[in-house]
Structures are given as C-alpha cells and as structure tokens.
Amino acid sequence: MQYGTALRHAVESPVVTPLIGIYDMFSASIAAKHFDGMFVSGFGFAASYYGLPDIGFIAWPDMVGFVQRLRLAFPEHHLLVDIDDGYVDPEVACHVVEHLEAIGASGVILEDQQRPRRCGHVDGKKILPLDEYLQKLELVLATRRDLVVVARTDATEESEILRRAEALAATDADVLLVDGVRSIEWIRKVRRVVGGKPLLFNQIAGGKSPRISLPDLRTLGVDVAIYSTPCLFAAQGAIESALLELQAAEGRLPERTADSIGVPEAQALLERNISRHHPKPPIPEQARRQRPAVPAGAKIS
C-alpha cells in the first residue's frame, strides 16, 4: 500500500480528515475502533515513553520503533508522525524520514522551532531563521518518495506568521500547519495568504487554539484536523478517578456493571490487532446464493 498516497487522497477529499492523537499501543487500539487515522503525538509519546514533558527529550530511534509497532498492528490506518524539528540536524531529519517511510508511515510534521523546543501550545517557543528551516524542509522533501510532509511554523508574531505561511505554501510541502493559532479570524488570514495549499489545524485541550467542529473547520477552508491529546488526557483523568475510588474502598474493586472494562473487554480489544492480519474466509458458493440482496445505499458491515 502507498500510505502517503492514501493520506493525500483523504486530505483532498471534500470533508475534513480527523487524525486522533495516540500515545501508546493500547490507546491506538481504542482509537482504531472509531477513526481511520492516527496522529503520533510528540506530546503523548514523550509523556508515555519517558514520563517527561514535550521539550525535546525524544530520541528518533524510539519514535521509529513505536511507529513500526503501530503499522504492524494497524495495516490500513493513516499514521501521521510528529518528528518535531527533525531531531535538530537536517541530515538526521532525512534519515528519519527514510526510516519512517520504509516502515509504512503515512506522513510527518516538521516544525521550524529551535532548541530548546516546546509544545506548540505553550509559551517560550523560539524559531529558526526562515532560510535555515526552508533548507531543512527542502532536503526532507527531496528525500521522501510518497510520504506526506506537513510544514509547520510555530511563529507567534502576527506579521511573521503570515510571512512564514506564505513562504511554506510556496514549497512542495503537501500541507501547512500554523500551530497555536489563537482565533478563527487568524485561520481566515492564513487561508488567504496560502492560496490552495491544504491546511491542518491542531486542537489540544487547554491549548491556545479555539475549539472548532469539523463542519466549521471545513467552512474555514481547513482540510485536516489533528487532536493531539484526547486519549492521553482522558486516561489521566480516568486513572486518577479509579485509584481514588480504590483508596476510598480500602482496596476492594468496584462492582462490575454493563459499562465496566474487565478482562473480556480488554482481551477482545487486543485480539483485533491480530485478526486484522488474518484473511477473511471465502463465503461458500451456496451461502452466496442464499444471501439476501443489499438495498442500495445500505452500509455493509
């Protein structure tokens, strides 16, 4: 499968493509039940793999190994990977892109921050000189074969946001992201200066950007929406609640209810990651003849 081409087609579709931020194999297993695409979030990976904030601790072999495990378990999902600043050096960025494309990543996001880097929705970000970032971006674009490349700017000054957005739109990057954009009006301003270049919008709870629905993003001219941390933050809240409940009950597990998760539910979830690789058995000829006709427009499960 040409994973980059598949994601590119989704980006070009008439609806906004949502990509759900995941942080480990278990969160990805849950997200795969509900969405066709995942965003390999640097924030989530730094938190889950290292227990550290998203300020530049990620080593590229760790990220590549994680994406390889994801692709083996989810052979048909879009996988957009956050590679931060390309791990500083342009040649390292190209090397990582080659690895990720070889193991089946769909795309990467390359930012213009300089070290020490920060999550795109916190204060204190510093950006590379535009020419220096463009040189790195052009090397990555020349290296990739089919991989989707998202060019990201973390500029915060209004005039610099528009200057960089216009410059990035003139490259061969497939998609443009202005991270931490603070208002709907600024989405409109960016849309005007980048022409027909596809736009990506990043929503993160507690971040700097407004909460916007997918239909409203489509009206604003956005093509892709990433949700960096819904799984991570939901897990933090649920684990806190479960452990407080366990403390309050003096160590007695709560009663099972219809909505509870236990061994059977977790086992069924994880078994899907194996069954996706099993070919579906052919339908016997007699059964095919006896199957009822499917009404036009009906969804086939």
> Quick check: 288 pLDDT over 70?
no
Q: Is the pLDDT of residue 267 over 90?
A: no
- According to DSSP, residue 113 is labeled B
The full set of domain ranges for the chain reads 3-233, 236-275
Architecture, CATH, for domain 3-233: Alpha-Beta Barrel (3.20)
Peptide bond into 116 cis (omega under 30): yes
What are the beta bridge partners of residue 153?
178
Output the CA torsion 66→68→73→79 (10° steps).
80
pLDDT at res. 289: 53
pLDDT of residue 295: 44
Give the residue from 168, 187, 182 showing the smallest Cα distance to 210: 182
What pLDDT sits at residue 265? Answer: 83
Predicted TM-score of the model (pTM): 0.88
| pLDDT tens-digit readout, 195-218 | 999 999 998 887 778 889 999 999
Q: What is the pLDDT of residue 298?
A: 41
pLDDT, tens digit, 9 for 90 and up, residues 86-111: 999 999 999 999 999 999 999 999 99
Which pLDDT score is estimated for 279? 74
For 250, left (φ over 0), alpha (ψ -120 to 50), or beta? left
Distances (CA, A) of 121 to 32, 58, 136, 209: 26, 18, 23, 8
C-beta neighbour count of 236 within 10 angstroms: 12
Residue 26: left (phi > 0), alpha (psi -120 to 50), or beta? alpha
79 touches 104 (CB < 8 A): yes
Q: Is the dihedral of CA 56, 58, 64, 68 positive or negative?
A: negative
Give the SS3 label for residue 79. strand
Q: Measured at the alpha carbon of residue 233, what is the angle toward residues 232 and 234, in degrees to the nearest 5?
A: 95
The answer to whether residue 194 scores a pLDDT higher than 70 is yes
Confidence of residue 262 (pLDDT cuts 50, 70, 90): confident
Confidence of residue 79 (pLDDT cuts 50, 70, 90): very high
Question: Residue 284's pLDDT is what?
Answer: 64
Other beta carbons within 10 Å of 69: 14
Q: How far apart are CA 209 and CA 200, in angstroms?
A: 13
pLDDT averaged over the chain? 89
Say whether 83 sits in a helix, a strand or coil. Answer: coil
Mean per-residue pLDDT, 227-234: 94
Rounded to an integer, the average pLDDT of 221-240 is 95
105-142 tens-digit pLDDT: 999 999 998 876 766 666 667 889 999 999 999 999 99
